[in-house]
């Protein structure tokens, strides 16, 4: 299983707010390493959504926000739109592993 734990799926209705959690440990998120988020639309490559825990690249709407506390991080999406239906992955660094680049297992967001 993945070093970073995400729920396999979340869902929400258009206009609602959803959050996706990313739980790590003292050797990754809890050690102070940044968390980044990527969105993967069906059949396409991942795309950067949030970097450095809470920063949005240009072009990413402010409906998307990230936060980090302790050994966990969260991605929040407000004003859900049908085009938000995608897979979301968190990413961080782990100092205890040789595979120091670690991803969460991914969360499938379904917009009902």
Partner 1 sequence: QVQLVESGGDVVQPGGSLRLSCAASGFTFSTYGMHWVRQPPGKGLEWVAFIRSDGSNKRYADSVKGRFTISRDNSKNTLYLQMNSLRAEDTAVYYCAKDVAAATVDYFDYWGQGTLVTVSS
Which residue ranges make up the site for partner 1 (CB under 8 A)? 2, 34, 36, 38, 44-48, 51-52, 57, 89, 91, 93, 98-106
Selection from 4, 7, 27 nearest residue 95 by Cα: 27
Nearer to partner 1, 26 or 55 (CB): 55
Minimum CB separation from partner 1 for residue 68, in Å?
14
CB of 5 closer than 8 Å to CB of 20: no
Contact 66, 73 (CB under 8 A): yes
Is 14 or 41 the residue whose CB approaches partner 1 more closely?
41
Residue 2 Cβ vs partner 1, minimum distance, rounded to whole Å = 7
| Residue matched to tokens 């959504």 | 49
Give the single-character DSSP code of 104: B
Phi, psi of 84 (to 5 degrees): -80, -10
Choose between 3 and 80: whose C-beta lies nearer to partner 1: 3
Least gap, CB of 46 to partner 1 (angstroms): 5
CB of 48 to partner 1, least distance (A): 5
Specify the residue, 84 or 104, whose C-beta has the smaller distance to partner 1: 104
CB of 97 within 8 A of CB of 3? Answer: yes
Six-digit token string for 17: 């707010």
């Amino acid at each position: 299983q993945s070093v970073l734990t995400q729920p396999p799926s979340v869902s929400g209705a258009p206009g609602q707010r959803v959050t996706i959690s990313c739980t790590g440990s003292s050797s990754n998120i809890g050690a102070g390493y940044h968390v980044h988020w990527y969105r993967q639309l069906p059949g396409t490559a991942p795309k950067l959504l949030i970097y450095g825990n809470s920063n949005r690249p240009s072009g990413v709407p402010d409906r998307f926000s990230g936060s980090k506390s302790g050994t966990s991080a969260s991605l929040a999406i407000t004003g859900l739109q049908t085009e938000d239906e995608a897979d979301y992955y968190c990413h961080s660094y782990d100092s205890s592993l040789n595979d120091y680049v670690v991803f969460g297992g991914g969360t499938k967001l379904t917009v009902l």
